[in-house]
A = this chain, B = another copy of it.
Amino acid sequence: MNRLSLTQEFSVPYKYEVFFTENLFEKENTLFKDFIVNFGNKDYQKKVLFVVDEFVAKSHKNLTSQIVAYFNHENFAELMPEILVLEGGENCKNDPRYYEEVIRAINEHGIDRHSFVACIGGGALLDMVGYAAGISHRGVKLIRIPTTVLSQNDSGVGVKNAVNYLGKKNFLGTFAPPVAVFNDMQFLESLGERDLRGGLAEAIKVALIKDIEFFKWIIAHIEELIAGNKRVMQEQIFRCAQLHLQHIASGDPFETGSARPLDFGHWAAHKLEYLSDFQIRHGEAVAIGICLDTLYSYLKGYISQKEAEGVVYLFQDLGFATFHSALAENDKINLFNGLNEFREHLGGQLTITLLEKIGKGFEVHEIDFDLMKKAVDLLEELSQ
């Protein structure tokens, strides 16, 4: 009986919509209501627990009362009387008390696997609340309502959640697709210049590794993007989210392999965020990380100097800082430790995406540290 075995094999299907809308909780907008009513068992009165980013609540003072009115208008679901308003930003992922607070509310309000946690906020809050929802009862249903460019075009439409632990970014988390994402343009109007810009980093990233036409489109619309032109911003978000979703669905959604092309530029970005104690935001760090790996791609001979410098100048034209003091000499060891942490988080071989050409990424499994040092120096030079 030594080699007797039973084979277990099955697939788990996932499906969700990413909606693009405006004024989600205006009474006339039935998108949210229709989604809840038509989801799963129609005869069952569903519960919805809201968690709102403090910054968003401050910028949209009527938001919570608008949500209450929206639920009162037609009795389509049970709104939990407590609407959690929590600090967003990286700190909510660093301090376990935040996700414990969400779990407490899930428990107290009897949110079950057929109820919803609806999270309104930026990428960090969505990550943290998604984690709390993902581990409660082995996963209660999560609705994401991203409020920043970065979360609407990238993280908010994906399948991951996480919090930071033991000083490491995203150390704890799960793969847990949301049941729906509502991208409401209205939320972008209260964003400052810094946040509008930050989100463009992920758009440039996905364009550089996947879609040269989208890259050209971004260059052709620099002015409008800087000015936050609504129609142009919406098109940027739609195209970026679409590329992101396509990538997840066509590949390895729960990342069982080593490939992770969407993390182009992210190994340095993650480390920079820590080294700067999160003074530098994710999109800003990603911009620098992309510039670094683009210059490295040039130094390895894959793309031309002109192409590589063009990427750096594009970020500069959009107002990004393309260098940070944490990249300077003394911290270089720290930065290269980042490569190892990145490998460890993903596991297996080190896998870094470089540019084969503009619009096409490819993977390498080794980094030449001396050449990367040169890329750092070159980036510093170009950024003066």
- Which A residues have a C-beta under 8 Å from some C-beta of B? 1-22, 29, 31, 40-41, 44, 103-104, 107, 110, 112-115, 134-140, 157, 160, 162, 165-166, 168, 170-175, 177, 234, 238, 241-242, 245, 248-249, 253-256, 258, 343-349
Contacts and interface: CB of A to CB of B under 8 A. Distances in A.
Contact of A12 (B19, B234, B238, B253): B253
Contacts of A107: 166, 168, 171
A8 B157 contact: yes
Contacts of A11: 11-14
Instruction: Kindly name the residue among A103, A135, A172, A345 whose own CB sees the greatest number of chain B CB atoms within 10 A.
Output: A135
Nearest to A6: B18
12 contacts: A2-B21, A3-B19, A4-B20, A6-B242, A8-B18, A8-B177, A9-B249, A11-B11, A44-B349, A103-B165, A112-B344, A113-B346
Count this chain's copies in the assembly.
2
Instruction: Kindly name the residue among A138, A177, A253, A256 whose own CB sees the greatest number of chain B CB atoms within 10 A.
Output: A138
B173 A138 contact: yes
Given A5-B19, A20-B4, A172-B135, A347 B12 contact: no
Given A1-B22, A137-B171, 18 more contacts: A4-B21, A6-B18, A7-B17, A9-B14, A9-B15, A10-B249, A11-B11, A11-B13, A11-B14, A12-B253, A41-B348, A44-B348, A103-B165, A135-B172, A137-B345, A137-B346, A138-B160, A138-B162
A41 B346 CA distance: 14
